[in-house]
A = this chain, B = another copy of it.
Amino acid sequence: MTAPARPKVAMLLYPGLTLLDLIAPHAAFATTTEAHLVWKTADPVRSDFDVAVHPTTTFADCPTDLDVLFVPGGMGQAPVAADEEVLAFLADRGARAQYVTSVCGGSLILGAAGLLRGYRATTHWTGIDVLALFGAEYAEGRVVVDRNRITGGGVTAGLDFGLVVLAKLLGEDVAKMTQLMLEYAPAPPFDAGTPRTAGPELTAMARAGSEQVNEAMTAVAEELATKGWGRAA
């Protein structure tokens, strides 16, 4: 009897990523897949709250036969979406991966690499309007599956996303076992996780706090469109 091969997952690191966007699905993948954290170099990468994490591989050494390509969001998402070295890596691996995936603003980076043109997708609720600039169609849902594109909503959606992807890769029993080990039986003390439940005042404040990132991402989309990347033809 041979053990089944562990699916190969590549998770993009970049300066200014939101660490929970990465670590929530990583926790779902860590015990049963071969999960790589990938960046241009092996140097530590700083998250948007200044936590430094080491890549486990580089663009050059990252496996080419991926089961999953994954991109997280973060305050640093606009500069990385404008970086053609990153976009070329994502376009290359994305064209070959079994699943092309993201959580939060990571879908905008996939979009910048041309990987969501004509696909339904989601993103952090503050970034919904930006998705269309990359030729994607926003769809409601905590996790949105369209053919082999699987995108999760903001930050904590990465837990639900991780279990959805794991079930596709290895079956429901593996996903359920993982959920049990992660004790994922959520019990939020408040009901303020969406604009509808949080109400207009908190929603307006959160929107204001996201304006800068969205403006930067919009500028990236417009710039990329002039170069033939990103926006649908």
Which residues of chain A have a CB within 8 Å of any CB of chain B?
Answer: 18-20, 23-24, 26-27, 30-31, 35, 37, 44, 49-54, 56, 104, 124-125, 142-143, 153-157, 159-160, 163-164, 167, 172-173, 175-177, 179-190, 192-195, 197-198, 202-203, 205-206, 209
Give min CB distance, A156 to chain B, whole Å.
Answer: 4
Whether B142 and A160, one on each chain, are in contact in the complex, defined by CB atoms closer than 8 angstroms, is: no
Whether A49 and B20, one on each chain, are in contact in the complex, defined by CB atoms closer than 8 angstroms, is: no
In the bound complex, how far is the Cα of B27 from the Cα of A35, in angstroms?
A: 22
Given contacts A23-B24, A52-B54, A160-B188, 11 further A-B contacts (CB under 8 A): A19-B27, A26-B49, A31-B49, A52-B53, A53-B54, A142-B185, A156-B159, A177-B202, A179-B188, A180-B195, A180-B198
* CB-based nearest B residue for A23: B23
Give min CB distance, A160 to chain B, whole Å.
Answer: 5
* CB-based nearest B residue for A123: B183
> What are some 16 contacts across the A-B interface (CB < 8 A)?
A19-B26, A20-B182, A26-B51, A31-B49, A35-B49, A44-B44, A153-B183, A159-B186, A163-B188, A163-B189, A175-B190, A176-B198, A180-B198, A184-B193, A185-B193, A185-B194
- A184 contacts across to B, CB distance below 8 A: 155-156, 188, 193
* CB-based nearest B residue for A20: B27
Give min CB distance, A178 to chain B, whole Å.
Answer: 9
Top-5 shortest CB links A-B: A154-B183, A185-B193, A176-B192, A186-B186, A52-B54
In the bound complex, how far is the Cα of B28 from the Cα of A217, in angstroms?
A: 25
- A176 contacts across to B, CB distance below 8 A: 190, 192, 198, 202
Whether B189 and A193, one on each chain, are in contact in the complex, defined by CB atoms closer than 8 angstroms, is: no
Whether B167 and A189, one on each chain, are in contact in the complex, defined by CB atoms closer than 8 angstroms, is: yes
In the bound complex, how far is the Cα of B153 from the Cα of A155, in angstroms?
A: 20
Whether B185 and A197, one on each chain, are in contact in the complex, defined by CB atoms closer than 8 angstroms, is: yes
Whether B172 and A190, one on each chain, are in contact in the complex, defined by CB atoms closer than 8 angstroms, is: yes
